[in-house]
Amino acid sequence: MKRYVLIGSGNVAFSIAEALLSNGYIIEAILARNENEGARLAQISNAAFYSSFAQLSNLKFDCCILAISDSAILEIANQLPKIDQLVLQTSGTTSLDAIIKFPNRGVFYPLQSFSKNVKVNWRDVPILVESSNEECLVKLMELASSLSDNVRQVNGQERAYLHLSAVIAANFSNSLLALSQEIISKNTSLDFSILKPLMTVSLEKAFALGPIAAQTGPAKRKDYSTLDKHKKLLGFSSKEAELYEQLSQLIQQQQHDYLQGEA
């Protein structure tokens, strides 16, 4: 499969386009509702741009990738003409059946966060794949393996749980970092970057030892005096203090279950 059509013009579409082009693939066309971003991606990809999805049936290609939001997959799939070429969707949560109208279909889910104009080392990106039949799986594995050294075949339920885990690990932790940044900027003369050495070591320890074994801090030690001081700083009746209390309780429950399992 050398010739591709990309549907979408968001972060995932831009990153997949870059990965395909970097590995010698040809992008024949970009189809997108956002004409400005779609045309920009088409120019970067040396591809044609179409804002009408009906154009798909007139194009010559081997594979079509729907790099669009989860909520748009079923809607866009219904607008596309039925084709025999391989059609892939990139969602972590949407079922393969969302594109059931295409006999040759699959899931190409890169487990990574993407931003436009920020390059990603695709060799390190886990790509989770699923397909409608064995012939599609062979093609899908060939594509994924040409981009990444970490390709896994998973079913829809496994993919959904992996996406959930990724949201908790990446999006939730990023939100907590934003809260930390706000506390530092509002109450000290220091910069948020002062936390970088701590976070770097914490992340390394979590993957080396396991998150629960690597856990430290006042909640694990049951240092209630420090916990109360922190909640006072946040304001006892604030949503932040409530979140602090809930996360502290979660840490203690995880530690309890961990020690029970070792006993």
DSSP-assigned letters across all residues of 159-212? HHHHHHHHIIIIIIHHHHHHHHHHHHHHH-SS-GGGGHHHHHHHHHHHHHH-TT
CA 210 – CA 203 distance, rounded (Å): 10
Give the pLDDT confidence of 214-261 residue by residue, as tens digits.
999 999 999 999 999 999 999 988 999 999 999 999 999 999 999 988
Name the token pair of 212: 């629960």
- Position 117 scores a pLDDT of 78
Distance CA 175, CA 156 (A): 27
pLDDT of residue 138: 96
| Prediction pTM value | 0.91
pLDDT in tens, 85-140: 999 999 999 999 999 999 999 999 999 999 987 889 999 999 999 999 999 999 99
Q: Where are the alpha helices (DSSP H) in 6-112?
A: 11-22, 35-45, 73-79
User: For the segment 22-62, what is each residue's pLDDT rounded down to a tens digit?
Assistant: 999 999 999 999 999 999 999 999 999 999 998 898 999 99
Amino acid 33: pLDDT: 93
Report the DSSP pairing between strands 26-31 and 48-50: parallel
Question: Does the pLDDT value for residue 10 go beyond 70?
Answer: yes
Q: Which residues contact 52 (CB under 8 A, 6 or more apart)?
A: 31
Q: What is the dihedral of CA 80, 82, 85, 91, to 10 degrees?
A: 50
In b/e form, how buried is each residue of 82-99, taking b as 16+ CB within 10 angstroms? ebebbbbbbbbebbbebb
Q: Taking the chain, what is the end-to-end CA distance rounded to the nearest angstrom?
A: 54
Residue 233 is predicted with a pLDDT of: 96
**Range 163-185 average pLDDT:** 97
CB 62 within 8 A of CB 80: no
- How many CB atoms within 10 Å of residue 168? 10
* pLDDT score recorded for residue 260: 87
Q: How many residues does the chain have?
A: 263
Cβ neighbours, 10 Å, residue 203: 13
Q: What confidence category does residue 12 fall into, taking pLDDT thresholds of 50, 70 and 90?
A: very high
> Which amino acid, one-letter code, is at 63?
C
pLDDT at 119: 87
> How high is the pLDDT of residue 261?
82
User: In the prediction, which pLDDT does 116 show?
Assistant: 84
State the Rg of the chain over Cα: 23
Position 263 scores a pLDDT of 54
Helix ranges, 49-92 (H): 73-79
CA 62 to chain CA mean position, Å: 25
Percentage, residues of the chain above pLDDT 70: 99
Q: Which of 8, 12, 9, 6 is nearest to 28 (CA)?
A: 6
Q: How far apart are CA 114 and CA 126, in angstroms?
A: 13
